[in-house]
Amino acid sequence: MRDVIVVGAGGGGPVAAKELAERGLDVLLLEAGPRHARPREEWTHYENDANHPLTGFFRFGPADRAKSAWFRETPQSSFVMQLSGVGGTTQHYYANSPRAYPGVFSGYSGPDAGAYDTGHRFPFRYAELVPYYEWVEATLPVRTAAMGTKEEVYFQGCETLGIPVQTALTTTGDSYRPQQNAILQPGGHAGRTADPRLLVFPRSTGCTFCGHCAQGCMQPVRAPRNQFAKRSTDNSYVPMALTADAWSPGGRAAELITDAFVTRIHTEAGAATGVTWRTGATGESHREDARVVVLSGGCTESPRLWHNSGLPDPNGWVGRGLTDHHLDFVVGVFDRDVGNSRGAGSAARCDFPGRGALEQAGLPPALQALVLSTSDSGIRGAYANGRGLQGPWDGPTGRVFGPELAELMQDGGHDRLLNVLVFTDDDVEPGNRILPSAFPADAHGPVPKV
């Protein structure tokens, strides 16, 4: 009998595993996907190789890329950007770690109190969460993002908006600021050169400005795993959990099993008693008991597993309330290099609490071409759908395609582009939910309908 079984080694699970292993509990961490133990042999910076949703090494599917990705029913025109494997979706995340606006918590009465989705406030006070923020910020660690050329240009634009620079961690009004992120600060030659001979640990430490956060961080070359710059959980909390006996007095190393898809949570008298999982390579089932089960399979698989385990859903809210987080890109074309491809994926932002945010986003070439050619604001030179901004330029705004797209991207053009990622505020939408699908079940049970 284990003390704790944690289901899922993504953003959340390893945090629980590390904290509990540090305190001497017997923790088993089960992950459906693979563990990329040697990223520099297993990963590349080729974006299609990394991020193709069906065949990339970052996808929601098994380790063997010849096998198909795991199916989700998405009846609306949509795409669920989640990954399997140790690190989960943090393997390609941007490591930005802003604190939530205090106005989304109960008991808040600041001047911006009415700006938020007040129907769905967190049922506790912001001040109660702050010690946990501080603990995670110290552990990852979270620091003010390293700045480069694209941030400098972005801030020049921000200065024209008439809003202040935000220097505190807590945001309650319109403002702009460097991101707080979980990317180790550049040290030595890092961030100062593109010479690969110098971008080698320990001559270089932290972020080398390679610009490939979305393809998984494996920099600087020769750095040990826990010194890779981006603190995705595969580089931070998982190594800490697996070595807790070595660094924490009284700690006990957590055990990690990958290729282990949990198919059922067992309960007795209303309390979890253990889980059953399936080993993908062999198809074998295993059962293990525990005093506590932590369900951390992400916002699609956790409700799927809950439903498939026949657990209660008395008010119908299991899997409901996924937030809407509409996004679009505004792309500016400059007559000089603004460093689009260099540095952290997103290191600067403007906040408009209750309404949304404008994030600076640096993109590698394929993602940049994708962003230029996906929008619902029409196709430049072909048609406008009335949604695009009107401005002092010729023709409609909107997607760029064909020769114009090629021209924008070639001969260093990619580094003359500056992206602003526009986010609407997150509102809880009861109709956005996960249900068991009527499609045929897979080897892990009924599949989720998103």
Residue 63 vs 379, nearer CB to ligand FAD: 63
Sole binder of ligand FAD in the list 19, 22, 31, 234 (CB under 6 A): 31
Residue 259 interacting with ligand FAD (CB under 6 A): no
| Count of positions on this chain that bind ligand FAD (CB under 6 A) | 31
Residue 209: name the closest of 228, 224, 194, 225 by CA: 194
Give least dist CB 116 to ligand FAD, A: 19
- Choose between 81 and 221: whose C-beta lies nearer to ligand FAD: 81
- What distance lies between CA 237 and its chain's CA centroid? 15
The burial class, CB within 10 Å (0-12 / 13-18 / 19+), for 58 is buried
Instruction: Give CA–CA dist 329/419, Å, rounded.
Output: 6
**Does residue 10 belong to the site contacting ligand FAD (CB under 6 A)?**
yes
Instruction: Please state, in angstroms and rounded to a whole number, the distance separating the CA atoms of residues 350 and 356.
Output: 9
Rg (CA), the chain: 23
Binding mask 93-122 for ligand FAD (x = CB under 6 A): xxxxx-------------------------
Least distance in angstroms from the C-beta of 209 to ligand FAD: 17
Of 4, 21, 25, 32, the one binding ligand FAD (CB under 6 A) is 32
Among 12, 216, 388, 448, binds ligand FAD (CB under 6 A): 12
Token digits of residue 169: 């961690």
Stretch that binds ligand FAD, among 3-11, 115-123, 124-132, 170-178 (CB under 6 A): 3-11
Q: Which of 59, 72, 92, 212 binds ligand FAD (CB under 6 A)?
A: 92
When the beta carbons of 11 and 148 are compared against ligand FAD, the nearer one is: 11
**Binding status of residue 81 toward ligand FAD by CB under 6 A:** yes
> Rounded CA gap, 62 and 77, in Å?
24
Rule CB under 6 A: say whether 419 interacts with ligand FAD.
Answer: no
Q: Is 9 in the site for ligand FAD (CB under 6 A)?
A: yes
Question: Closest approach of Cβ 152 to ligand FAD, in Å?
Answer: 21
| Smaller CB separation from ligand FAD, 258 or 375 | 258
Contacting residue, 2, 17, 33, 207, with ligand FAD by CB under 6 A:
33
Residue 262 contacts ligand FAD per CB under 6 A: yes
Q: Which stretch binds ligand FAD (CB under 6 A): 5-13, 39-47, 142-150, 153-161?
A: 5-13
Q: Does 290 bind ligand FAD (CB under 6 A)?
A: no
Binder to ligand FAD among 4, 11, 241, 420 (CB under 6 A)? 11
Site for ligand FAD in 358-417 (CB under 6 A): none
The amino acid at residue 342 is R
Please identify which residue in 20, 21, 89, 188 interacts with ligand FAD, judged by CB under 6 A.
89
84 binds ligand FAD (CB under 6 A): yes
- With CB under 6 A as the contact rule, which of the stretches 25-33, 164-172, 394-402, 409-417 interacts with ligand FAD? 25-33
User: Which residue has the CB atom at the shortest distance from ligand FAD?
Assistant: 10
Omega prior to 249 cis, within 30 of 0: no
Q: Specify burial of residue 261 (Cβ count, 10 A radius: 0-12, 13-18, 19+).
A: buried
| 88 belongs to the binding site for ligand FAD (CB under 6 A) | yes
Q: Decide if residue 350 touches ligand FAD (CB under 6 A).
A: no
Q: Could you tell me the smallest distance in angstroms from the CB atom of residue 258 to ligand FAD?
A: 9
Site for ligand FAD in 294-333 (CB under 6 A): 296-298, 301, 305
The minimum distance between CB 261 and ligand FAD, in angstroms, equals 5
Q: Which residues bind ligand FAD (CB under 6 A)?
A: 7-13, 30-33, 81-82, 84-85, 88-90, 92-97, 261-262, 296-298, 301, 305
